[in-house]
Structure 1
């Protein structure tokens, strides 16, 4: 109990303290609640749409059964009259087949109508007329078989058979008309339910994307605050070791917090996006069902379909689903980028002796074919060795060389030079020089910001490459700066300590 009370007090203090984490958790909670509401609304609308589709199918079955009854009655009457006129048994076979099938079709129609108060009296009237008509047909056929043709003809001329057929035709036509009206109304209800479902999901997707955008903006703002703290730390006097130690500890805690927040955003926002994608697929399937239903109706009863309904199902719904898919795909790429940044920031650094000339040459060889195709070259001069984290160094140089190849100047062959030397201050200095497009002076700092890009945007990317490079350089205790003019190429300056000191291992290296 004490632990529970202590946890509750801690949680209460957390909620009362205005922090970035509280804002993100509130946004995530809102997104989850919104998703639950959308799930409930979508479930209800799908159930309602299914019910509408079932009633539409039922109405079609009733209409089909009514038409089958009328068709068989006509066949029976045709066979009867043909037998009376010609006395040929093949006409009687047509009559007998129709009479044999009529009870089953009537039973099917009776089962479909069930307890329908509007149609039951009409069906009862049809059944009563049917039995009387069958008795009259049987009587005329029996008279014809015994050679009493005159009496049979007299029965037909009395007009009773025609009256019975006309009355049954009226009742069956009335049943068909009632079901046609119901079919049109239920089709409209189904289309409205589909439109509401699409609208609710599109609105929910838009709101989730807005919440995700706000979260990304909060993370970006926090990253900018940390970058400002970095710059302030760089201006601190190197001789004030205690102050440097304190500020480094604060920066480390801030970095860990932003990495945790980035992980929360990227991990927890993925679940709502996956659900939106899943429901988008369901909406596509529902749209296909409606399209098939409309196609069927267009063939049987084109007058019952409104042009607006066809346009809504075949144009508006696919367009809305496409918008949702494009938006969620873009958000998913941003979340993946944040997750990559968070994971790399939490990875433990492992110092080792690095032969920088061979390491950078292998990176250059990996893009050799692209450079050769553009008629260019990459020159790797002899570089001073370094003791640092291999994976981080490979990613830093790989990103910078890849950028130099990607953003080459279209009017001249690529030329990239990697060079460096050891300094007298215990640091090594590397330079990556290219003759590419260059960067405007006002964008020298902008290109290192998260999700920010400069110049012509004709290459794929999310604006994370150089932000990741600067973050990695700083984790290794180094600095990165840029010298560049637009159209004149760029030079990236990298400075690292000769030996990387990992926190907790400093005593082992003194």
Structure 2
């Protein structure tokens, strides 16, 4: 049984791959996009691992620089304590000498450990070690003379300049070691910046690719919806007696709906996965930028840093990351809107007698806080009852009233009137009129298309509301038109059959 199911699945996949269709084109496009995304993700992961390794190397180099400076500072403290003891003879002056010895031991040990890990540092660290030992031996010798009461001989030893020579050479050796480590830190910082720039570039390319894919997907959905709507209009216009033609058109509709559902599945599952990856890697890229900035701050303390590098890390990269995040957020909203439109097309309709006056008044009451804040009012007149699907009617009226409230003109008190009457032939007509901004004549039809909006874009939205309304109205067997004049207001006219008749196959029109 399992083998038979596997064979059937293979045959279906083979037929899908061989049959030219928009779905096959989408699948091929997604395969290419996913291959690119996988390559980008792997490359980004490798770059981040290398960046982390460079960060650890830089941090260890900074610690070795601090250790060498600790040796120098400890020597200076010990030398100060030595001279204080020789001048005063007071034993409390020896405490800084002992403290300096305790500070210097772990610093020297850390330097020796670094020399063991990196043989190229062995010579400069051995030089520091030797000079430190010689200086320490010289200081202990003078202190021993002083403890024996031979102060004059101890002071004469200091005046000989041997200790100063050791100290000068030690300072030079530490400066040379610091220069070596600084050069290496600068080199590794440059490599880290190169890794960061490459990672940023690849993520930016991925973001653009996803945005293009989202726009193309929206165009395909729009094309599918237009095809389905055209097919429905053709079926509605056919003669009732032409059964064969009706069956043919119905088959076309079913295939188109199935194609939409398959496409919606691809959008909801396959397109969202790389979107989540881009969001995650964008956050990691932002963290890597902070690490680079920290390294630049540390480097600026010792030497000038190229201004172009500073600008790229502190201005260009955050700006580009913000663009990627805005694009991925817009793509996520588009996916959700497309899925909503697809799900509504598959929902079963359930006709019932509707009190349209009460329903519309409840919708008006739900936006009362918005109208009250803007000084507007909604007037619901007595509306004729119809037998239709409650949820679809609520969504249609809710969208239109919400749009009327959203696009009221701030220069005059808002007024929205919902009216209706029965007309001959078993129809009911409803009007939602407002005195808002209005719609330009050239946009009267375009506002019902996917991703199209009219006028100034200063309100949130993706351009799907009225497309969703028209699709729902047509599923209920009705029509929707708009009468509007720019700057004066708009009136949306809905026409529904008094009784919704479902096809024999069910409510999924």
Indicate whether the TM-score tops 0.5. yes
- Superposition deviation, residue 389 in structure 1: 0.8
1:53 equivalenced with 2:55 (yes/no): yes
**Where do 1:11-410 residues align within 5 Å?**
11-238=13-240, 240=242, 242-298=244-300, 300-301=301-302, 303-371=303-371, 377-409=377-409
Judge conservation of contact 2:415–2:434 (CA < 8 Å) in 1.
yes
For residues 277-331 of structure 1, the C-alpha deviation after alignment (integer angstroms, 9 at most, x for no partner) is: 1222222222222333333333x31x14222222122111111111111111111
Q: Aligned partners of 2:388, 2:67: CA distance in 1, in Å?
A: 83
**Distance change >3 Å, CA 12–CA 253, structure 1 → 2:** closer
- Superposition deviation, residue 241 in structure 1: 5.2
**Distance change >3 Å, CA 244–CA 409, structure 1 → 2:** farther
For residues 343-377 of structure 1, the C-alpha deviation after alignment (integer angstroms, 9 at most, x for no partner) is: 21121111111112222222233334544565554
Select between 282-291 and 372-381 the one with higher mean Cα deviation. 372-381
Select between 30-39 and 96-105 the one with higher mean Cα deviation. 96-105
Judge conservation of contact 1:27–1:215 (CA < 8 Å) in 2.
no
Judge conservation of contact 1:263–1:342 (CA < 8 Å) in 2.
no
Q: How many residues align?
A: 505
Select between 466-475 and 77-86 the one with higher mean Cα deviation. 77-86
> Aligned residue for 2:427?
427
Matched position secondary structure for 2:54: helix
**Distance change >3 Å, CA 458–CA 75, structure 1 → 2:** closer
Q: Aligned partners of 2:100, 2:125: CA distance in 1, in Å?
A: 19
Q: Aligned partners of 2:487, 2:241: CA distance in 1, in Å?
A: 41
Q: Aligned partners of 1:416, 1:130: CA distance in 2, in Å?
A: 90
> Aligned residue for 1:464?
464
Q: Aligned partners of 2:64, 2:381: CA distance in 1, in Å?
A: 86
Judge conservation of contact 2:70–2:103 (CA < 8 Å) in 1.
no
> Aligned residue for 1:450?
450
Matched position secondary structure for 2:430: strand
- Superposition deviation, residue 178 in structure 1: 0.8
**Distance change >3 Å, CA 237–CA 407, structure 1 → 2:** farther
Matched position secondary structure for 1:119: helix
TM-score in terms of structure 1 length: 0.90
- Superposition deviation, residue 65 in structure 1: 1.0
**Distance change >3 Å, CA 126–CA 226, structure 1 → 2:** same
- Superposition deviation, residue 472 in structure 1: 0.6
Select between 154-163 and 494-503 the one with higher mean Cα deviation. 154-163
Q: Aligned partners of 1:204, 1:375: CA distance in 2, in Å?
A: 47
TM-score in terms of structure 2 length: 0.90
**Distance change >3 Å, CA 237–CA 485, structure 1 → 2:** farther
Q: Aligned partners of 2:155, 2:337: CA distance in 1, in Å?
A: 91
- Structure 1 gap ranges (5+): none
1:476 equivalenced with 2:469 (yes/no): no
Q: What is the aligned-residue RMSD (CA, Å)?
A: 2.6
- Superposition deviation, residue 157 in structure 1: 4.4
For residues 455-501 of structure 1, the C-alpha deviation after alignment (integer angstroms, 9 at most, x for no partner) is: 33333221111111111111112222333444454433323233223
Q: Aligned partners of 1:39, 1:457: CA distance in 2, in Å?
A: 36
- Superposition deviation, residue 255 in structure 1: 2.7
**Distance change >3 Å, CA 434–CA 105, structure 1 → 2:** closer
For residues 42-84 of structure 1, the C-alpha deviation after alignment (integer angstroms, 9 at most, x for no partner) is: 1111111111111111111111111111222223233323333
Judge conservation of contact 2:114–2:121 (CA < 8 Å) in 1.
no
> Aligned residue for 1:491?
491
Judge conservation of contact 2:404–2:416 (CA < 8 Å) in 1.
yes
For residues 118-154 of structure 1, the C-alpha deviation after alignment (integer angstroms, 9 at most, x for no partner) is: 2212322333343343333333222222233344344
**Distance change >3 Å, CA 88–CA 420, structure 1 → 2:** closer
- Superposition deviation, residue 418 in structure 1: 3.0
Q: Aligned partners of 2:435, 2:27: CA distance in 1, in Å?
A: 46
Judge conservation of contact 1:382–1:419 (CA < 8 Å) in 2.
yes
Select between 205-214 and 124-133 the one with higher mean Cα deviation. 124-133
Matched position secondary structure for 1:419: strand
Select between 44-53 and 489-498 the one with higher mean Cα deviation. 489-498
Select between 94-103 and 336-345 the one with higher mean Cα deviation. 94-103
